[in-house]
Amino acid sequence: MPAPPPLTVELAMRRLQEMPEAERPRALDILKQRDPAIHAKVMDALWGATVNRPASGPPSFGSGALIGGKFEVVQTLGEGASGSVFRARDTTHIGDDDFGAREVALKVSRIDTGHDGLHRDLLQKEARLLSRLRHPRLPVVEALFEDRGRWVLVMEYIAGDSLQQRRRARAEPFPVAEVLPWLRDTLRVLDYLHTIHTRRADGGAPVSDTPIFHRDIKPANLILDPHDNLYVVDLGIARSGISELTSVVPSAVGAGSPGYAAPEVDRGEDTLPQSDLYSVGMTALTLLTRDDAREFSTRRRSDALHSGAPDPLHEALDRADLPASLREWIRTATMLAPDKRFATASDMIEALGRAPAPPASVSSSPSPSRRSLVLALLAAVVFAATAVGAWAVWPDATADGTTEAQQADVLDDDPLLVAEADPVEADPIETPPVLTAPPPQAAAPAPVPTGPPASASGPVAAPERRPEPPPVQTGAVRATVLGEDGGPLAGARVTVVGQAASAASDGVGDVRLAGLPAGVHMLEVRADGYVARQFRVEVAPGETTTRTLQFDIEDLALDAY
């Protein structure tokens, strides 16, 4: 019996094409276990076939165009090699015009949908995986469909400015105290993505079999909304460790952005958790210094080291006006070898807590209102000027010179889980209490002492009065739960993810949740005949936020059809 021919990439590809579609994922899993090298080359071939497949020319999606029969294009947000991103309005959304129409972001691929069944199944599987992600700092991925021969990815629209836009609008780098919370929020998102395979969905099944890597962390993909909440966007080239092609909207082999992509990503090798962490380090460099990450490509750094010259990135860090511990934090994150970087996003968050921001600088010329406050305090505080003057002038400062917000950022090292809400920052105290000397009293006969004689050191000082911490700021949510047909749903259960707050909708679909900490929350809605769906809502202190929570036809349970 002749020996079977040696397995090659071409042979594996041909067998996959001949195989029933349902058997292909299992075959790829077996191939990965038996011959990782061939599996990697097959995946590269699949990736390249998807990326390089010629397109017949993108369709015209100008302003006012209707995509998918329901999304009206409002604005073009960006153009790239992988496709175009549009801001669009959902014309089927039912709600009060006073609250505005529902808007989404549509990523339209330049690659046509005329792939074989294998590629189509892989894209759809990855889209389903991304649609299950739920994190307060990630836009919700809603759907993937075809329109005029193009893949269209539907995502939650986040209005705001990117950190790239804000950095370009500044002549100077951002203050360290301003950047640290952004870095921490970004790392918490990565910790969620990298550990997604350890999390359980409804019924106990894992959300994903393997971690997910973003692969394109950079200032342009970090968005600040009008309330300065940070979001990590553009999961379009995210890849997971599943044994299939893993790009929803393909861009290029070795995806990532020059200067921000880790060396192994540049070389087209397997993406690691440390690959995303490298990008965070380069992002920190761009935000905190006058240098741009794009100046330090892995080729330039490698060439310098091979020629015996110093690493240009390390030279830039040495001259950066940053705390030494923060320079070392960036240096560790951006080492060329992955095993020399931080191992996990959680480790990087913990190390960031050991690189505190310097105290905010004091302006040499306070504003008139601040000057008036200082003078008033100086006039009022007589005997306690030394003890309480500094606190009274700077009510936001703690004993070690850092602000409460800075101290919270430094101490809050725990990675944010999907079920956790963002920490609530207390509002600054506008009018601090002032300790004043008691008013003079009329002379009175000295009382006859009845107790032990007073100490020679003088009277015992009154206990120091400390300002009471401000109460936690809370707000409320009033929502209306609607079905896919726009009708109100009575008895729907709305739960705040990560908290005990929960309520059922009344006969007209209305529900109210009170006493919620100010900040961003995820609301999970369950109703008979629908699969559970989550909505993001932002609660403002002392206000009631109104939302319409509407199920789509895609949310109908299978037994409802």
pLDDT digits (tens, 9 = 90+) for 17-32: 777 766 777 787 788 7
Among 498, 500, 503, 499, smallest CA distance to 549 is for 503
The answer, yes or no, to whether residue 391 has pLDDT greater than 60, is: no
Among 167, 139, 195, smallest CA distance to 283 is for 167
Helix (H, G, I), strand (E, B) or coil at 530: strand
The answer, yes or no, to whether residue 166 has pLDDT greater than 90, is: yes
Provide the pLDDT for residue 73: 94
Burial of 237 (0-12, 13-18, 19+ CB in 10 A): buried
Handedness of CA 381, 385, 387, 392 (dihedral sign): positive
Q: What DSSP assignment string belongs to 63-118? A: TT-EETTTEEEEEEEEE-SSEEEEEEEETT--S-GGG---EEEEEEEEEES---HH
**What does DSSP say about strands 544-550 and 103-112: parallel, antiparallel, or unpaired?**
unpaired
Instruction: Identify how many contiguous H helices and E strands the chain contains and give both numbers.
Output: 15, 18
Q: Are 251 and 236 in contact (CB under 8 A)?
A: yes
Q: Are 105 and 87 in contact (CB under 8 A)?
A: yes
The first and second tokens of residue 363, run together, are 């302006």
Helix (H, G, I), strand (E, B) or coil at 441: coil
Q: Are 517 and 471 in contact (CB under 8 A)?
A: no
**Domain 1-159 in this protein, CATH class:** alpha beta
The answer, yes or no, to whether residue 435 has pLDDT greater than 70, is: no
Q: Are 501 and 523 in contact (CB under 8 A)?
A: no
pLDDT bin (cut points 50, 70, 90) of residue 330 is: very high
Q: Which position has the higher pLDDT, 46 or 497?
A: 497
Residue 230, C-beta contacts closer than 8 angstroms, at least 6 positions apart: 137, 181, 182, 185, 186, 222, 223, 224
Residues 168-192: tens digit of each pLDDT: 999 899 999 999 999 999 999 999 9
Burial of 202 (0-12, 13-18, 19+ CB in 10 A): exposed
Helix (H, G, I), strand (E, B) or coil at 545: strand
Phi, psi of 496 (to 5 degrees): -85, 115
According to DSSP, residue 205 is labeled -
Candidate from 82-91, 371-380, 385-394 with smallest mean pLDDT:
385-394
Looking at the domain 161-353, which fold is it?
A: Transferase(Phosphotransferase); domain 1 (1.10.510)
- What distance in Å separates the CA atoms of residue 234 and residue 77, rounded to the nearest whole number? 12
Provide the pLDDT for residue 324: 94
Architecture field, domain 474-560: Sandwich (2.60)
Provide the pLDDT for residue 424: 33
Q: Are 135 and 418 in contact (CB under 8 A)?
A: yes
Residues 274-305: tens digit of each pLDDT: 999 999 999 999 999 999 888 898 889 988 88
Chain-wide mean pLDDT for the chain? 73
Phi, psi of 481 (to 5 degrees): -95, 125
- What distance in Å separates the CA atoms of residue 316 and residue 291, rounded to the nearest whole number? 7
pLDDT bin (cut points 50, 70, 90) of residue 401 is: very low
Provide the pLDDT for residue 538: 83
According to DSSP, residue 225 is labeled -
pLDDT bin (cut points 50, 70, 90) of residue 81 is: low
Q: Which residue spans of the chain are classified as CATH 2.60.40.10?
A: 474-560
Provide the pLDDT for residue 510: 87
Burial of 109 (0-12, 13-18, 19+ CB in 10 A): buried
The answer, yes or no, to whether residue 16 has pLDDT greater than 50, is: yes
Region at 332 (left for phi over 0; alpha for psi -120 to 50; beta for the rest): alpha
Provide the pLDDT for residue 497: 81
Q: Which position has the higher pLDDT, 443 or 52?
A: 443
What count of Cα atoms within 13 Å lies in the side-chain half-sphere of residue 302?
11
pLDDT bin (cut points 50, 70, 90) of residue 34 is: confident
Burial of 407 (0-12, 13-18, 19+ CB in 10 A): middle
**For the whole model, what pTM was predicted?**
0.56
pLDDT bin (cut points 50, 70, 90) of residue 462 is: low
Provide the pLDDT for residue 431: 39
Candidate from 190-194, 231-235, 431-435 with smallest mean pLDDT:
431-435
Q: Are 21 and 117 in contact (CB under 8 A)?
A: yes
Q: Are 240 and 208 in contact (CB under 8 A)?
A: yes
- What distance in Å separates the CA atoms of residue 272 and residue 345, rounded to the nearest whole number? 11
pLDDT bin (cut points 50, 70, 90) of residue 433 is: very low
Percent of the chain past pLDDT 90, that is, above it, reads 25
Provide the pLDDT for residue 89: 93
Give, in degrees to the nearest 5, the angle at Cα 502 between 500 and 503: 160
Q: Which residue spans of the chain are classified as CATH 3.30.200.20?
A: 1-159
Highest mean pLDDT among 203-212, 286-295, 392-401, 516-525: 286-295
Q: Which residue spans of the chain are classified as CATH 1.10.510.10?
A: 161-353
The answer, yes or no, to whether residue 493 has pLDDT greater than 70, is: yes
Provide the pLDDT for residue 122: 64
The answer, yes or no, to whether residue 64 has pLDDT greater than 50, is: yes
Q: How crowded is residue 460: how many other Cβ atoms within 10 Å of its Cβ?
A: 8
Provide the pLDDT for residue 540: 84
pLDDT bin (cut points 50, 70, 90) of residue 468 is: low
Candidate from 96-105, 145-154, 281-290, 294-303 with smallest mean pLDDT:
96-105
Q: Which position has the higher pLDDT, 343 or 1?
A: 343
The answer, yes or no, to whether residue 411 has pLDDT greater than 80, is: no
Residues 132-138 have a mean pLDDT of: 87
Provide the pLDDT for residue 242: 36
- What distance in Å separates the CA atoms of residue 45 and residue 39, rounded to the nearest whole number? 10
Rounded (to 5) percent helix, strand, coil in the chain: 35, 20, 45
**What does DSSP say about strands 474-482 and 544-550: parallel, antiparallel, or unpaired?**
parallel
pLDDT bin (cut points 50, 70, 90) of residue 229 is: very high
Helix (H, G, I), strand (E, B) or coil at 318: helix
Give CA separation, 369 vs 85, 366, 376, in Å: 46, 8, 11
The first and second tokens of residue 97, run together, are 């015009």
